[in-house]
Structure 1
Amino acid sequence: MNKIFFFFFSFFSLFFISCSKKSENSSRPSTGKINTISIVIDDQLWNGIIGDSIRNKFASPVEGLSKEEPQFDINQYPIDVMEGFVTKSRTIIVVKQGKENLFAIKKNQYATPQNVIHITGRNLSDLLEIIEKRTPQIIKVIEEGEIKAHQILLNDSILNPEIIQKQFQLTLKIPKNYSYIVKNKSFVWFKSEFPSGSASLLITQLPICTFNSEDNVLEKVIKVHDSIGTLYIKGKEPSSSLYIDKTYPIYLSQITLDGKPAYETKGVWRLRDNFMFGPFLNYLIVDSKNKRIIYLEGFCYVPSRERRDYMHELESIIKSVQIN
């Protein structure tokens, strides 16, 4: 009887210790730079076609930048080091061969917030097929996680939201290092200046009748963008104003922001009769209830450094929008 009691006592003790340890681990704060992925994979797979496929898909160029930069920075670790600091990474992709094919996304497995993507294939062909099929889903999950992580960083230093709320009936998490450049009843331009350049945020609104379902949305976006540039954003010369450079690709997609239909546009801006140029992204949000189109834009001028993370901050600010 005592042996049976001891067995069950030992079993439940180990069970609760295991659960407690798991809970303790998952409550640890995750770490890592924005847009960085930890790839846990054996060197043999990493140095072959599996590694090539992962690099091609997750380090592909970011849309809308004037110079190629990878969508994500990748750090590779062998399977046998899946412990310690690696498990605290915010985004982990574990790739290995096994007895059966497996794909799973586990939230907060070792830390919080965290996405751990598990990919197991019986052979190289199966691994390639899973990676090919699941890449769009994985990228979407990672992108959403990185935006949320960046927004958490913004929480520490936010401008008074009441000013924007009163003027445009919306709130945005705008950091305190941004200041007003232009402010009137229908338009606001915020700017953050730093040693290597500057980042800007534009807010305005248009009557909903400005757009209809039959319009060429991209043409409308370009028209609105260039009109704002002509009115407010100029260089030293009278003819110098901000416009979209159509010699670079322009990316348009339909998304949802704060539960409302929206259009996202990415591309390259240029200052007319000037050497200045850089990336932009803007959003047209259809606010049917208030019969308006909300226009939010972010652009940066960083001539001597990579621009991806500056644009990611602007995207995170804009996607924090909450419309009253």
Structure 2
Amino acid sequence: MTRTVQFIFACFLFSALLSSCGSKDKSDNGNSLLQVARGDAAEIILVMDSAQWNGPLGTEMRRTFELVIPGLNREEPLFDLKQVAPKSLNGVLKSAKNMIFVTTLNNNTRAGKIMKGYYTAESLSKINEDPNLFYFTRKDNYARGQEILYLFGKDDESLIRKLRENGDILRQYFEDVENKRLQADLFKIQEKDLADVLYDRHNFKLKIPYGYELAQDKGNFVWLRALDLEVDKTIFVYYEPYTNQDVFKDITALRSRITEKYLRDIEKDNIYITYQDVLPFITKNINFKGSYAVETRGLWKTSDSTNGGPFISYTFVDEVLNRLYYIEGYVYAPSKDRKRDYINEFQAILQSFQPAQSAAPAAGR
């Protein structure tokens, strides 16, 4: 078995051994009585001994979950950790959307004993016997829509090693959770008529949240915008015949070719969207709808350097129609200090894109 599969299997067996302290019956009736989980986007309530939080284990927790997001104007963490001492965990904090409980068996302080109280004697014995067992997850324990990650080990050193070896898996768990929540919120109300138009004209499907309008449609280029007094959000889709894989070697050149041609100021045609070369494009190979793709992050600006901000994009091939796609979301929000949530929003929208091989007519058509 792969390491990830082994972890999932072990955690499935272990989850039944969690102490029932504080948990509720998860029958439909019991679950419906729980309060709705609350909290800000990308916020995690971290329950652990304050002494450990201020030591090497806390440092490793911050390194794991407060990883700096690439491609933004300033440093922003992937998640906002808010540490809470076990004795301070009250009913309000227990309703958080995201929670992490950190426990080590050798911690015999008052806080350590409280943390071990969340486990049965049998589960504590298994933690001590099996070094491969160090986490499991639980849903809706104290509130509906809640996700909890339990991290545990014999001591700080062994848990730190596990965090270093498996940080990607743990981060991805909460990234997936946050992305699903965001999509559910974004797509409560959609611009379905606009989505139908794009499907009819271009043979691709995209979920478009309420508020976006069609700014431009030029054959193989579609420009969508959502404007308010403080924020200008743009999504654009470009495609062309796919000729060879060399295009993936220089996403910078591909993007420049697109934006210089199509993203020009309506009143001043000599001004167009380009990129800020102070930060090189940050690329990552990913699986996008079952196909190879390149995710790109970076900073854009207008050619006269008056406006700018971050962007995220995906480049991939639709083999059915032999199309090379470049899809992007970028934001202009000079009055907003943090841009993380906008990039996460674009990520959720762009990941709803379906090329011809999997696209189907919109609901109700």
| 1:91 counterpart residue number | 98
1:136 to 168, 174, 177: 168
Query: Aligned-pair distance for 1:113?
Result: 4.0
Q: Which has the higher strand share?
A: 1
Question: Of residues 189, 195, 200 in structure 1, which corresponds to 2:234?
Answer: 200
Give the one of 113, 128, 136 matched to 1:105.
136
Q: CA deviation at 1:89?
A: 2.6
Which position in structure 1 is the counterpart of 2:85? Answer: 78
Deviations 1:126-183 (A, max 9, x none): 1211221221101111111111110000122211121122223222221121111112
2:64·2:171 contact (CA, 8 Å) conserved in 1? no
Answer yes or no: is the 8 Å Cα contact 2:316–2:326 preserved in 1: yes
Residue 196 of structure 1 aligns to a residue whose secondary structure is coil
Matches within 5 A, 1:242-261: 242-261=273-292
The residue matched to 2:71 in structure 1 has which SS?
A: coil
Q: Equivalents in 1 of 2:45, 2:252: separation in Å?
A: 38
Distance, in Å, in 1 between the alignment partners of 2:97 and 2:153 is 24
Amino acid in structure 2 at the alignment position of 1:162: D
Residue pair 1:66, 1:248 contacting (<8 A) in 2 also? no
Partner of 1:3: none
Q: Which amino acid aligns with 1:248?
A: L
Segments of structure 1 that go 5 or more residues without pairing to the other structure are: 1-17
Asked whether the 8 Å contact 2:136–2:151 carries over to 1, the reply is no
SS at match of 1:314: helix
Aligned to 2:186: 154
CA distance in 1, matches of 2:237, 2:281: 21
Task: Give me the TM-score of the superposition, normalised by structure 1.
Answer: 0.86
Q: Is the 8 A contact 1:206 1:293 kept in 2?
A: yes
CA distance in 1, matches of 2:320, 2:144: 37
- Structure 2: runs of 5 or more not aligned: 1-21, 106-123, 360-365
* Conservation of the 8 A alpha-carbon contact between 1:198 and 1:301: yes
Is residue 264–residue 283 contact of structure 1 (8 Å, CA) maintained in 2? yes
1:127 aligns with 2:154: no
What's the TM-score once normalised by structure 2's chain length?
0.77
How many residue pairs align between the two structures?
303
Q: How far, CA to CA, are the matches of 1:175 and 1:76 in structure 2?
A: 34
C-alpha RMSD of matched pairs (Å) = 2.3
Q: Distance in 2 between matches of 1:19 and 1:42?
A: 21
Q: CA-to-partner distance for each residue in 1:172-211, whole Å, 9 max, x for gaps?
A: 22112111111232211111112222110001212121x3
Query: Which stretch shows the higher mean deviation, 26-35 or 88-97?
Result: 26-35
Q: Percent identity?
A: 25
CA 1:172/1:88 → structure 2, altered by over 3 Å: closer, same or farther?
farther
Cα 1:230–1:259 shift into 2, 3 Å: same
Whole-Å separation in 2 of the counterparts to 1:207 and 1:216: 11
